Amino acid sequence: MLNIQADGRGKPGIRFFEGEKWLVASGLLGLLLAGICAVWVMLYGGKVAPEGDVSKAFSFNAALGVFLMSTAAIVPFSAMSAKGRAFFRWSYIMLALYAYVAETVQNFRGMNPRFVNDGTAFDRGVSGIFTFVALLLVLFYCMLAFQYFRKKAYTLNPDMVLSIRYAMFAVMISFAAGIWISFNQGR
């Protein structure tokens, strides 16, 4: 783990991933699921009738896994309280687990997990919950982003927090693009 000093006087610093082993594990789970989907696509192709596409599950799981691990890397610099970090961590893990299951299982079943055309009530329910989960992921991340704009976080590690602030702007733009794409019901 990389140590970043909280100040220039040699005090113990904040470390990337510090205290976030479960968030990292959930990110690694996404990469594992992506690997399983990749093997399936290489052996059998991506399309699963009538609407599924395992290659989409591959890309989703890989992207969410990397996103969770990068989030785990920067959470220690947020200056959130231990309770606040735990609430964020476990909320994000639970939401991510639902997203992994919905994306992977529904595509293997031959259903589009986001935009169901001719599915059952179960499929429409999974899709509706998936939309709600995606919005909660954005909302919780916005709450995390806010932490980096507080004086406390900046005071503890100004250079790192300034970098994270710029990254948060980029993430918010990507979230806005994702919401727009969802409204257009496409990728």
d(C-alpha 103, C-alpha 95), whole Å = 12
d(C-alpha 52, C-alpha 108), whole Å = 6
H helices of 117-157, where?
Answer: 121-147, 151-156
Q: Quote the pLDDT of residue 167.
A: 93
Per-residue confidence band for 182, with pLDDT thresholds at 50, 70 and 90: confident
Q: Quote the pLDDT of residue 115.
A: 86
> How far is it between the farthest Cα atoms of the chain?
63
pLDDT digits (tens, 9 = 90+) for 99-142: 999 999 999 999 999 888 888 999 999 999 999 999 999 999 99
Per-residue confidence band for 12, with pLDDT thresholds at 50, 70 and 90: low
- Assess whether pLDDT exceeds 90 at residue 178: no
Per-residue confidence band for 179, with pLDDT thresholds at 50, 70 and 90: confident
Q: Quote the pLDDT of residue 135.
A: 93
pLDDT digits (tens, 9 = 90+) for 18-65: 999 999 999 999 999 999 999 999 999 999 999 999 999 999 999 999
Q: How far is CA 39 from CA 46, 47, 129, 186, in A?
A: 10, 13, 28, 25
Per domain, the residue ranges of the chain are 19-144
Q: Quote the pLDDT of residue 6.
A: 46
Q: Quote the pLDDT of residue 48.
A: 95
CB atoms within 10 A of CB 125: 12
Q: Which of 8-12, 44-48, 86-90 comes out lowest in average pLDDT?
A: 8-12
The pTM of the full predicted model, rounded to 2 decimals, is 0.88
